[in-house]
């Protein structure tokens, strides 16, 4: 008997109401995971904060099973640490993993901006980048940190889409979770939003002039600047970081 037939028989052996229950639990776990992931990345939950399964179950109106599954997914992503006898805590930001993620992102995004210049010889989408820049300025003027971060993310994703390689952005999105956590600490610092706006403007200018060297350099400096900052973070709470 084939493996597919065996799986089919196993599913038939499970009463329909139980199958529906598993489906609902799975959907609930996915929704809880997405919500908690966003709250951890945006620093609504900070490193070392405790996540209580019972309280989370009450908050989301579910049993502990989907909550536990969501927390296990977060643990796999390095966002929480689960201690059976103590509880679940938001992970500190691992400094080395953060550094490696920045290096990966810098290399990939330098490639996408170069590819975007080639692609735009056939299809000029510069206006989309300029619209994004205008939105970024408005978010800065309103001191909307969350909105600013989202628009910033959309800028980088848009460049990958213009390049014709959205899959590269999918890889970046997987590795940048710790970068996003770190940036929610640094963006509110004085002058930081203006600096990001200026760096984006330099990238756009390089693309506008079809100057591959200038655009790649601007992107590399923009993303790579974070590696320099990691050597000077004494002003931040050391408990937020893990030196591994």
What is the pLDDT tens value at each position of the chain, 244 positions in all?
555 554 454 444 555 554 555 577 789 999 999 999 999 999 999 999 999 999 999 999 999 999 999 999 999 999 999 998 899 999 999 988 889 999 999 999 999 999 999 998 777 899 999 999 999 999 999 999 999 999 999 999 999 999 999 999 999 998 999 999 988 888 888 899 999 999 999 999 999 999 999 999 999 999 988 887 776 665 667 778 887 6
pTM equals: 0.82
| Long-range contacts, 210-215 (Cβ 8 Å, 24+) | 210/117, 210/120, 210/121, 211/117, 212/114, 212/117, 215/113, 215/114, 215/116, 215/117
Q: Which domains does the chain have, with CATH numbers?
A: 3-91 (1.10.10.10), 94-242 (1.20.120.530)
Label each residue of the chain as H, E or C.
CCHHHHHHHHHHHCCHHHHHHHHHHHHHHHHHHHHHHHHHHCCCCCCCCEECHHHHHHHHCCCHHHHHHHHHHHHHCCCEEEECCCEEEECCEEHHHHHHHHHHHHHHHHHHHHHHHHHCCCCCCHHHHHHHHHHHHHHHHCCCHHHHHHHHHHHHHHHHHHHCCHHHHHHHHHHCHHHHHHHHHHCCCCCHHHHHHHHHHHHHHHHHCCCHHHHHHHHHHHHHHHHHHCCCCCCCCHHHEECC
């Amino acid at each position: 008997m084939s493996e597919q037939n065996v799986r089919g028989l196993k599913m038939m052996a499970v009463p329909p109401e139980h199958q529906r229950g598993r489906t609902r639990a799975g959907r609930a776990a996915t929704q809880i995971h997405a919500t908690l992931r966003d709250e951890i990345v945006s620093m609504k939950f900070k490193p070392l904060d405790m996540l209580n399964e019972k309280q989370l179950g009450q908050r989301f109106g579910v049993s502990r099973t989907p909550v536990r599954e969501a927390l296990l997914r977060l643990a796999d992503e390095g966002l929480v640490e689960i201690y059976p006898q103590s509880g679940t805590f938001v992970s500190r930001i691992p400094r080395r993993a953060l550094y490696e993620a920045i290096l990966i992102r810098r290399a990939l995004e330098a490639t996408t901006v170069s590819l975007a210049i080639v692609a735009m010889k056939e299809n000029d989408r510069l206006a989309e980048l300029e619209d994004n820049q205008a939105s970024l300025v408005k978010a800065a003027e309103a001191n909307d940190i969350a909105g600013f971060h989202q628009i910033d993310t959309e800028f980088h994703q848009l460049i990958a889409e213009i390049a014709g390689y959205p899959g590269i952005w999918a890889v970046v999105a997987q590795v940048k979770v710790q970068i996003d956590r770190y940036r929610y600490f640094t963006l509110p610092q004085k002058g930081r939003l203006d600096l990001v706006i200026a760096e984006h403007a330099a990238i756009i200018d390089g693309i506008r002039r079809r100057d591959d060297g200038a655009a790649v350099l601007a992107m590399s400096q923009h993303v790579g600047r974070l590696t320099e900052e990691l050597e000077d973070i004494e002003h931040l709470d050391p408990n937020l970081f893990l030196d591994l």
